[in-house]
């Protein structure tokens, strides 16, 4: 269906993204999957092409165009090529907004040029071994000591945690018996600070080109100048940024489901069974027709949400609806497409298997499907 989300500027950026993915990502992807990450030089290459700093003000080396649709284009172009851009999505769409919204003038000067050039890689550490969905239940603490905060605690499942130069850590700085959401603070922990160590790199079923780490903080002295935003107010900041994080997951889900259909069409046209292409069976046609209809329905909902987000009007419950619908749709569609590959669909050398294993986490991270339903139900007064 015709989409009216993008302007000529976005389409020019799409050409740049397409070329970059084809030349700089696709040929190296299998090697990066084995190594568990995308090399730093590739982030720097993306930085030099202006792909990491679009939203960063020009005075700090960015493009000065805080338009979420450029991120959509980047995800769509990588999905089209059946790859992902490692932790770039997390850096641009999940973490950068915290810096853009809450960094003060001094922090902007210190960090923005490196974020735009790809010299600084980042992670955000909310989840802990004992708590994920219940963000207010975090146990990591930060205690004030003169010009520093002393951070103690452990985080897990942190995307990009092994490579990150800057980790935004959410820590408890005070407790309010009447309001458990009060008292969380964002502190930027830097690579090399004594007491900050990276534990195991976790072995995942999918998303092999991005590392997922356990992080440990033992008496880490973090300068007060590294607090992002106001002390004790982080829960509100998470609430403000999570809708974009959820939208971002939905964008990937729809783009990857669409790619799965393309891959299934190509495969079933060449694969023969009983002397005829698999694509010629009515079942294949009906399955792919149904999948295509699901993708177009999700795309319409998603594009509406992106427009609302660009206008600053996407509510938290609507972001939850979009994430819930698009990620569940992705799972259904990719599963049905994989079925059409027969046994080859189960082999990792076929990209459909990668799409399948990568897809599973979309219903878990950035808030599980169940948590999305909790948010939606609350908006219904339930
Ligand atoms: C690959 C990957 C990358 C990740 N990257 C990051 C990252 O960069 N930074 C970060 O901070 N975190 C990250 N996470 C963590 C992710 O956000 C959490 O795993 C997720 O929020 C769920 O938390 P949990 O794992 O603790 O599950 P739990 O909260 O223990 O949930 C377990 C089950 O209980 C259900 N449940 C929980 N509460 C309710 C409720 N109220 N009603 C009904 N059911 C409920 C859940 O839906 C789930 O099915 C990542 C996770 C993965 C797998």
Q: How far apart are CA 327 and CA 321, in angstroms?
A: 10
Ligand 1 atom index nearest CA of 369: 47
Of 205, 110, 216, 111, the C-alpha closest to 162 is: 216
- Spatial contact of 329 and 375, defined as CB atoms under 8 Å apart: no
Q: Identify the pLDDT of residue 322.
A: 98
Residue nearest to atom 48 of ligand 1 (CA): 368
Token pair listed for 380:
């219904």
Residue nearest to atom 17 of ligand 1 (CA): 365
- Positions in the chain short of pLDDT 50: none
Q: How far apart are CA 53 and CA 228, in angstroms?
A: 19
Of 145, 103, 148, the C-alpha closest to 122 is: 103
Ligand 1 center–CA 348 separation, angstroms: 26
Query: Does residue 159 sit in helix, strand or coil?
Result: strand
Find the residues whose C-beta lies inside 6 A of ligand 1.
123-127, 132-133, 157-159, 204, 207, 212, 361, 364-365, 367-368, 370-371, 374
How does pLDDT run across 307-354, given as a tens digit for each residue?
Answer: 999 999 999 999 999 999 999 999 999 999 999 999 999 999 999 999
Q: Identify the pLDDT of residue 200.
A: 85
Active centre residues (catalytic)? 245
Look at the alpha carbons of 257, 13, 86, 94 in this order and tell me if their dihedral is positive or negative. Answer: negative
Of 211, 119, 203, the C-alpha closest to 162 is: 211
The structure tokens 């690579």 sit at 191
pTM to 2 decimal places: 0.97
Q: How far apart are CA 56 and CA 100, in angstroms?
A: 7
Q: Identify the pLDDT of residue 91.
A: 96
In the chain, the largest separation of any two C-alpha atoms, in whole Å, equals: 78
């Amino acid at each position: 269906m015709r989409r009216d989300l993008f302007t000529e500027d976005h389409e020019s950026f799409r050409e740049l993204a397409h070329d970059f993915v084809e030349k700089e990502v696709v040929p190296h992807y299998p090697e990066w999957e084995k190594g568990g990450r995308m090399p730093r030089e590739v982030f720097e290459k993306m930085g030099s092409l202006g792909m990491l700093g679009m939203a960063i003000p020009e005075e700090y080396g960015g493009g000065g165009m805080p338009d979420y649709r450029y991120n959509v284009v980047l995800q769509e172009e990588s999905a089209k090529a059946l790859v992902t851009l490692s932790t770039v999505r997390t850096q641009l769409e999940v973490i950068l907004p915290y810096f853009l919204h809450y960094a003060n003038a001094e922090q902007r000067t210190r960090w923005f040029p490196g974020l735009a050039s790809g010299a600084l890689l980042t992670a955000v550490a909310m989840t802990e071994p004992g708590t994920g969905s219940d963000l207010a239940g975090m146990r990591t603490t930060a205690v004030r000591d003169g010009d520093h905060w002393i951070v103690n605690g452990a985080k897990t499942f942190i995307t990009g945690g092994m490579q990150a130069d800057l980790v935004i850590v959410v820590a408890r700085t005070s407790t309010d018996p009447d309001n458990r959401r009060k008292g969380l603070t964002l502190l930027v922990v830097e690579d090399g600070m004594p007491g900050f160590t990276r534990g195991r790199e976790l072995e995942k079923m999918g998303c092999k080109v991005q590392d997922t780490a356990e992080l440990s903080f033992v008496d880490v002295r973090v300068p007060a100048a590294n607090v992002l935003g106001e002390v004790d107010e982080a829960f509100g900041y998470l609430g403000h940024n999570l809708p974009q994080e959820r939208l971002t997951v939905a964008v990937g889900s729809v783009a990857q489901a669409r790619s799965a259909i393309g891959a299934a069409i190509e495969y079933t046209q060449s694969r023969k069974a009983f002397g005829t292409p698999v694509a010629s069976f009515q079942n294949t046609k009906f399955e792919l027709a149904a999948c295509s209809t699901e993708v177009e329905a999700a795309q319409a909902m998603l594009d509406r949400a992106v427009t609302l987000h660009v206008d600053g009007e996407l509510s938290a419950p609507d972001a939850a609806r979009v994430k819930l619908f698009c990620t569940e749709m992705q799972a259904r569609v990719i599963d049905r497409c994989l079925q059409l590959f027969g046994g080859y669909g189960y082999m990792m050398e076929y990209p459909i298997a990668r799409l399948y294993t990568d897809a599973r986490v979309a219903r878990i991270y950035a808030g599980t499907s169940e948590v999305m339903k909790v948010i939606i139900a609350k908006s219904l007064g339930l």
